[in-house]
C-alpha cells in the first residue's frame, strides 16, 4: 500500500454508518458533509445493520406460535438474536436476555422486579436512566452515594455504605447500580472492583452499559455483575430496542413487567368470575405483546459487527481520536474539560467541556450552523453530576439541554462531543479546528434565544 493510500485509509471509519455522506447547509453559505459527534446520545446505525434489516424485511411475519413459514422464520430470527446478544455479553448458562425498549426501560423493569424491601445503592453521578427508576417503588429504599473523585474512592464509598447497612442488622436484599462509562466525562468506572465489594456484603450489582458496550467488550461473567442493561440506539442499531441480561431468579419471581399475551402460559376462567393466570418463567414473562423483532435483530447484527471488527483495534483507534480531541482542546486556554477521575483516567470517546465567555448552547449552535458539526449541550440527563463538575448547587433548577441564559451569558450547562467506530478522522479534526476558530474569532453569524435555546438569527 502506498503512503498516500495508507493515509487515506487511516481517515476512514472502521465501521461505515448511515448518514456518512449527508450534506447539510451552512448559514454562511454552501454545504458540508455532516459531522455526527453526538454518539453518546444516539450513534448512527451501521450500514451492515441496515442491510441486514432490509434483507429480512420481505420475510416479516408474526412471532411465536404461528404455523406459517414466515412466522417460523421470524421466530427463529428473534430467538437467535437473543442467543447472539448472550454471546456478545458473555452471559452465564442460566442468564436471561430480555429485549426491552432501551436502557431506561431495562432498569425500570429490574426496579419493578426487586424483592420487597430491597436497599438500592446508586452514585449521584449516574445518568437519570439508572438514577431514578428505584425511587418509583415505595417499598424500596434508595441510598444515593456522593460523587467519588477516583476509582479507588468509588470502591471505598460503596464499601462504607454497605458496611453501615449491614451493621444495622439488615438481612434483606441489596442492589448496587453503576455505570460502566460516564455519559458526561467518558471515564471508565471500576466495575469489577465494585462488583467484588457488592458481593462481599451479599449485595447484587447491575451495570448500566449504555456508554460502555459500544466502545469496549462487556463480559458479564468476567466483570462478575448480576445484570447488564444497554440500548440499541447507542450500539449502532436503530431506535426502539434495548436489553436487560442477567440472573433469572428475581426476574422469574417478579410480577410480569407488562400483563398480556406472550407473558402468560395459561389463562382460565374461575368458577365464580375472573381468571386464573399462569405466567411464563422465561424471558417471555417480561416480553408481553408482539415483540420488536426488527429491533432485536438489529441489536444482534450490531453485536456481531463489533465482535468481528475486533474490540482491540476499535479501542486502539478510538484512543487515538480521544488523544486528538483532548490535545486540541488543551491548546485553547478558554476551554475546560470536565472530569471526575483526572486527566489520566481511561475513557471512551465522550468528552464534555465549557468555554470561558460562551453560553454552551450558543457554542453548540455555532458549531452546527457554521461548521456542520453536531454535538450536544446541556446537562446530558445527568444533572447532579454536571452540576457537581461545574460547581453548581445540587438543588438548582434547570432543564436538560434548555439553558435559561441568553447567548454570551454564563449558564450551568456544558458541551459534549462524542464519537466511535463510525467516526472518520476528518470529523474530529474539523471539530478541533472549529473550536479554535470560534474561540479566537467569535461566531460569524448572529444568534438569538428561542424556547431557551440559541438558534441562528435569520432575520
Cα–Cα distance for residue pair 138/156, rounded to 1 Å: 28
Cell of 288: 408481553
Residue owning grid cell 448472550: 86
Closest of 161, 144, 146, 155 to residue 194, by C-alpha:
155
Cα–Cα distance for residue pair 81/71, rounded to 1 Å: 15
Q: How many Cβ atoms are within 10 Å of 142's Cβ, its own excluded?
A: 19
Residues 6+ apart with CB under 8 A from 286: 98, 109, 113, 251, 254, 256, 257, 258, 263
Q: How many Cβ atoms are within 10 Å of 8's Cβ, its own excluded?
A: 11
Residues 6+ apart with CB under 8 A from 218: 88, 89, 90, 180, 207, 209, 212, 228, 230
Q: How far is CA 348 from CA 214, 225, 319, 322, 428, in A?
A: 9, 20, 8, 8, 14
Q: For strand 376-378 and strand 447-450, is the pairing parallel, antiparallel, or unpaired?
A: unpaired
Cα–Cα distance for residue pair 35/37, rounded to 1 Å: 6
Which residue in 91, 177, 381, 454 is the catalytic one?
Answer: 381
Burial of 315 (0-12, 13-18, 19+ CB in 10 A): middle
Determine the 3-state secondary structure of 391 from DSSP: coil
Distance of CA 254 to the CA centre of its chain: 26
400 labelled catalytic: no
Q: Are 375 and 456 a contacting pair, CB within 8 Å?
A: no
Active site residues: 381
Amino acid at each position: 500500500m502506498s503512503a498516500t493510500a495508507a493515509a487515506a485509509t487511516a481517515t476512514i471509519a472502521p465501521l461505515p454508518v448511515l448518514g456518512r455522506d449527508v450534506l447539510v447547509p451552512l448559514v454562511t453559505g454552501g454545504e458540508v458533509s455532516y459531522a455526527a459527534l453526538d454518539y453518546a446520545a444516539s450513534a448512527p446505525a451501521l450500514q451492515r445493520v441496515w442491510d441486514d434489516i432490509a434483507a429480512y424485511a420481505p420475510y416479516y411475519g408474526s412471532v411465536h406460535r404461528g404455523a406459517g413459514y414466515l412466522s417460523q422464520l421470524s421466530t427463529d430470527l428473534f430467538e437467535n438474536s437473543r442467543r447472539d446478544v448472550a454471546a456478545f455479553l458473555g452471559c452465564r448458562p442460566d442468564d436471561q436476555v430480555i429485549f426491552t425498549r432501551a436502557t431506561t426501560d431495562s432498569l425500570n423493569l429490574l426496579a419493578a422486579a426487586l424483592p420487597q424491601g430491597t436497599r438500592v445503592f446508586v452514585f449521584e453521578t449516574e445518568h437519570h436512566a439508572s438514577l431514578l427508576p428505584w425511587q418509583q417503588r415505595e417499598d424500596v429504599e434508595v441510598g444515593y452515594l456522593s460523587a467519588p473523585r477516583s476509582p479507588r474512592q468509588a470502591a471505598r464509598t460503596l464499601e462504607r455504605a454497605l458496611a453501615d447497612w449491614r451493621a444495622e442488622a439488615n438481612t434483606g436484599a441489596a442492589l448496587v447500580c453503576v455505570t460502566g462509562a460516564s455519559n458526561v466525562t467518558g471515564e471508565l468506572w471500576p466495575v469489577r472492583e465494585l462488583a467484588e465489594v457488592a458481593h462481599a456484603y451479599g449485595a447484587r450489582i447491575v451495570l448500566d452499559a449504555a456508554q460502555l458496550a459500544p466502545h469496549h467488550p462487556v463480559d458479564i461473567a468476567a466483570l462478575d455483575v448480576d445484570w447488564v442493561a444497554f440500548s440499541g440506539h447507542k450500539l449502532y442499531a436503530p431506535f426502539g430496542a434495548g436489553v436487560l441480561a442477567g440472573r433469572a431468579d428475581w426476574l422469574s419471581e417478579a410480577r410480569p413487567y407488562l400483563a398480556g399475551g406472550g407473558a402468560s402460559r395459561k389463562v382460565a376462567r374461575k368458577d365464580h368470575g375472573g381468571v386464573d393466570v399462569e405466567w411464563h418463567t422465561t424471558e417471555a414473562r417480561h416480553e408481553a405483546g408482539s415483540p420488536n423483532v426488527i429491533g432485536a435483530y438489529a441489536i444482534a447484527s450490531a453485536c456481531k459487527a463489533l465482535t468481528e471488527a475486533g474490540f482491540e483495534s476499535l479501542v486502539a483507534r478510538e484512543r487515538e481520536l480521544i488523544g486528538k480531541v483532548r490535545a486540541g482542546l488543551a491548546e485553547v486556554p478558554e476551554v475546560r474539560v470536565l472530569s471526575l477521575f483526572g486527566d489520566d483516567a481511561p475513557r471512551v470517546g465522550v468528552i464534555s467541556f465549557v468555554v470561558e465567555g460562551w453560553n454552551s448552547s450558543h457554542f453548540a449552535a455555532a458549531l452546527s450552523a457554521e461548521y456542520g458539526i453536531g454535538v450536544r449541550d446541556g446537562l446530558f440527563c445527568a444533572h447532579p453530576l454536571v452540576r457537581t463538575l461545574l460547581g453548581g448547587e445540587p438543588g438548582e433548577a434547570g432543564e436538560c439541554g434548555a439553558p435559561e441564559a441568553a447567548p454570551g451569558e454564563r449558564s450551568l450547562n456544558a458541551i459534549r462531543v462524542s464519537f466511535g467506530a463510525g467516526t472518520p478522522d476528518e470529523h474530529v479534526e474539523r471539530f478541533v479546528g472549529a473550536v479554535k476558530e470560534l474561540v479566537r474569532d467569535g461566531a460569524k453569524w448572529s444568534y438569538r434565544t428561542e424556547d431557551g435555546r440559541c438558534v441562528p438569527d435569520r432575520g
